[in-house]
């Protein structure tokens, strides 16, 4: 697809004849006859900072790993200061995820082993060939328009051939993977509504431009943002399974370590990644083991009861809190290779799973994290 001449001067600034301003044509995967891109291009283009090289931020890393072990926990929200490595961690996670089986040529990367979740096209086919693809981690870029998010009429084919064809959007590409929204609090309201709906149902329904399409869109929503730049609507907040708050480390040795690693990575990305490849591989192995162990891991009644009492004590709305608490504690136990889901797992994951579900009490000056910690102490001590 040709790029139009890029010499439209904005305000009388002379545009030098510059080799850099002439972009090579960027071609979008046309027609969807080919297999979907395994992972977005931006991740493949430049090496990403290795997940295992991130200093500190244990809670954030743990939450992301839990979401990777059990995608049904319902997403991770990372809120915190500027420059704390939120984006870095999420992009690093993408490189860690073990490959998955997918139907060859399916634009939604359907799982051959789960016919119930198949798209219409895969259902119609008698024989499905499968291949290993990378788990998609899709960026929702700022300024994305609705048509690219949900999918729309294929412009190229509509214009050149007068055909009505559906071009899947970012939600289709994110199926069975991760959808990452940086600066989630700056997202337009109508896009937020749309994402909420799809994230809740796991199905993307497109009714526009004369198209009527339904396709599976099960993804882990990962959002990051800075609370100083606007608060998140409570409906969206509740939709995330885990919420973590990250802060800039304050002790000097950690700070020096962070800067030193970042600097080493920037100076020699390939070498730095190679140095941490073994540690990344170890995490990937643990992840795969945890996923295999997860279905067989039962949650004892005592833990379930404690979870219920905890939610009761905190007055969280609905059952979502208990459900998330149970699932995340189980995923944590699976990741740590534990035999059973203990109260300790519950206590450790409770702040991340519950802090964003509390009703705000304007006169309680202690933060929601402290309130959860207090409730954990009270309930589990009994």
Partner 1 sequence: MSPAWSLALRVARLAAADPHGCGGVVVRAGAGPVRDLWLDGLRAALDPDRVLRRMPAGIPDDRLLGGLDLAATLSAGRPVAQAGLLAEADGGVLIIPMAERLTAGTAARLASALDTGRVQVARDGLATSAPARIGLILLDEGVGDDERIPEALADRLAFRLDLTNIAWSETGTAGPDDEADATGDERPIADATAELCTAASALGIASLRAPLLALRVARLAAACDRRSEVSGEHVREAARLVLAPRATRLPPSTEETAETPPDRAPAEAPSEADVASDSDDRMEAGAESVVEAARAAIPAGLLAHLEATASRGPTPKAGKAGAPVSAPRSGRPAGTRPGHPREGRLALIETLRAAAPWQRLRAGAEPGGPLIRVQAADFRITRFRQRSETTTIFAVDASGSAALERLAEAKGAVELLLAEAYVRRDKVALVAFRGTGAEIVLAPTRALARARRDLSALPGGGGTPLASGLDKAADLARTAAKAGGTATLVVLTDGRANVARSGAPGRVQANADALHAAKMIRAAGIRAILVDTAARPQDSARHLAEAMGARYLPLPYADATAMSSAIRSAR
Instruction: Assess 374 for contact with partner 1 (CB under 8 A).
Output: no
The residues annotated as belonging to the active site are 320
- Contact region with partner 1 (CB under 8 A), list: 110-118, 193-201, 310-318, 361-369: 361-369
End-to-end CA distance of the chain: 66
Mutual orientation of helices 58-69 and 320-335 as an angle, nearest 10°? 90
- x-marked contacts with partner 1 along 130-159 as a string, rule CB under 8 A: ---------xxxxxxxxxxx--xxxxx-xx
Residues in the chain, total? 382
Residue ranges in 201-260 that form contacts with partner 1 under rule CB under 8 A: 208-209, 226-231, 248-250, 252, 255-256, 258-260
Cα(258)–Cα(284) distance, integer angstroms: 23
Residue 173 CB, nearest approach to partner 1 (Å) = 9
Residue 167 CB, nearest approach to partner 1 (Å) = 7
Instruction: Assess 369 for contact with partner 1 (CB under 8 A).
Output: no
| Residue placing its CB nearer to partner 1 in the complex, 178 or 335 | 178
Residue 307 sits at φ, ψ, to 5 deg, of: -60, -45
Instruction: Assess 6 for contact with partner 1 (CB under 8 A).
Output: yes
Residue 367 CB, nearest approach to partner 1 (Å) = 13
Residue ranges in 76-115 that form contacts with partner 1 under rule CB under 8 A: 81-84, 87
Here the contacts of 370-377 (C-beta below 8 Å, separation 24 or greater) are 371/314, 372/314, 375/310, 375/313, 375/314, 375/350, 376/310, 376/347, 376/350, 376/351
Residue 48 CB, nearest approach to partner 1 (Å) = 10
- Cα dist from 243 to 185, 213, 285, 353, 373, whole Å: 14, 33, 25, 6, 15
Instruction: Assess 183 for contact with partner 1 (CB under 8 A).
Output: yes
Residue 203 CB, nearest approach to partner 1 (Å) = 21
Classify residue 326 by its DSSP letter: H
| Residue placing its CB nearer to partner 1 in the complex, 111 or 167 | 167
| Residue placing its CB nearer to partner 1 in the complex, 188 or 305 | 188
Q: Which of 262, 327, 355, 371 touches partner 1 (CB under 8 A)?
A: 262
Cα(240)–Cα(67) distance, integer angstroms: 11
Instruction: Assess 356 for contact with partner 1 (CB under 8 A).
Output: no
Alpha helices (H) along 70-188: 86-96, 120-124, 146-150, 155-161, 170-173
Listed residue (116, 177, 131, 100) closest to 35, CA to CA: 131
| Residue placing its CB nearer to partner 1 in the complex, 170 or 333 | 170
């Amino acid at each position: 697809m040709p790029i139009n001449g890029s010499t439209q001067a904005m305000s009388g600034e002379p545009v030098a004849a510059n080799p850099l301003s002439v972009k090579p044509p960027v071609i979008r995967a046309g027609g969807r006859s080919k297999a979907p891109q395994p992972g977005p291009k931006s991740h493949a283009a430049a090496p990403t900072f290795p997940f295992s090289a991130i200093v500190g931020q244990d809670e954030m890393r743990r939450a992301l790993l839990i979401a990777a072990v059990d995608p049904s926990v319902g997403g991770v929200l990372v809120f915190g200061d500027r420059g704390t490595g939120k984006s870095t961690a999420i992009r690093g996670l993408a490189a860690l995820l073990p490959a998955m089986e997918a139907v060859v040529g399916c634009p939604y990367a359907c799982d051959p082993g789960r016919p119930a979740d198949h798209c219409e096209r895969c259902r119609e086919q008698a024989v499905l060939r499968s291949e290993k693809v990378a788990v998609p981690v899709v960026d929702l870029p700022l300024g994305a328009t609705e048509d690219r998010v949900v999918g729309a009429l294929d412009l190229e084919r509509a214009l050149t051939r007068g055909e009505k064809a559906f071009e899947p959007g970012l939600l289709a590409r994110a199926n069975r993977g991760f959808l990452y929204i940086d600066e989630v609090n700056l997202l337009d309201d109508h896009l937020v509504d749309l994402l909420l709906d799809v994230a809740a149902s796991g199905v993307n329904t497109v009714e526009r431009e004369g198209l009527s399409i339904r396709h599976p869109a099960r993804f882990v929503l990962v959002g990051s943002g800075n609370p100083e730049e606007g608060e998140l609507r409570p409906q969206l907040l509740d939709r995330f399974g885990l919420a973590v708050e990250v802060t800039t480390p304050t002790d000097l040795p950690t700070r020096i370590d962070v800067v030193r690693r970042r600097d080493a990575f920037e100076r020699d990305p390939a070498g730095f990644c190679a140095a941490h490849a073994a540690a990344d591989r170890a995490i990937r192995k643990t992840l795969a083991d945890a996923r295999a162990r997860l279905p067989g891991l039962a949650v004892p009644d005592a833990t379930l009861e404690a979870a219920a009492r905890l939610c009761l004590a905190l007055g969280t709305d609905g059952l979502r809190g208990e459900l998330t608490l149970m699932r995340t504690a189980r995923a944590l136990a699976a990741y740590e290779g534990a035999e059973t889901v203990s109260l300790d797992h519950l206590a450790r994951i409770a702040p991340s799973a519950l802090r964003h579900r509390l009703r705000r009490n304007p006169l309680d000056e202690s933060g929601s994290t402290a309130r959860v910690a207090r409730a954990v102490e009270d309930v589990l001590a009994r």
